[in-house]
Amino acid sequence: MPHLKHRTTSWGNISILVLVIGIVLVACAGPAAQEPTDEPTLLPTSAPEQTTEVIATEAPTAANAPTDAPAATETGEAAEVSFATDVLPILQSRCVNCHGGQRTEKGLNLTSYAHFMAGSEKGPVLVAGDAAGSKFIQLIEQGKMPKRGPKVLPDQFQVLVDWVNAGALNN
């Protein structure tokens, strides 16, 4: 009888192969399942879909620009200054002691828009739309006004300039 070679497989090699395959499968399968608990589970929810509508508008030109729009400041930002809420409080705190309170020096009364626009005994004190050409702004900028009391602060001065440059509106 011829001698037959038996191919023998070692059970040790098979068990190592099975172990390696098991480790690879576990590693690829992701996190293990958790035991159920009594705590609520937060599931991710999708946010409602949002849409943005784009509306085309015509660029402003001299022909379609509003006439009472505030002028741009030196920094390029539009200055929206109100006489009633921005300018008048500055005048009341810095100017009316001499121009509208107990006295009205040089005939200039700064207690209201109408009085302000009436000017002084020498005529108008401001040129709407032209702060640089307005005596009112020039005297503050030169430090000549106010003569007594607290000086106009830089941010207050800018409000006054912006208001005059925007047309000195009664708003």
Residue 25 has pLDDT above 80, yes or no: no
Domain contains 34: no
Number of domains in the chain: 1
Q: What is the reported pLDDT for 88?
A: 97
Q: What is the reported pLDDT for 16?
A: 65
E strand or H helix at 14, and its extent?
helix 11-29
Residue 69 has pLDDT above 80, yes or no: no
- And the tokens for 2? 């011829």
Domain contains 115: yes
Structural domain span for residue 108: 83-165
Q: What is the reported pLDDT for 145?
A: 95
Distance of CA 141 to the CA centre of its chain: 29
Domain contains 18: no
Residue 21 has pLDDT above 80, yes or no: no
Domain contains 118: yes
Domain contains 96: yes
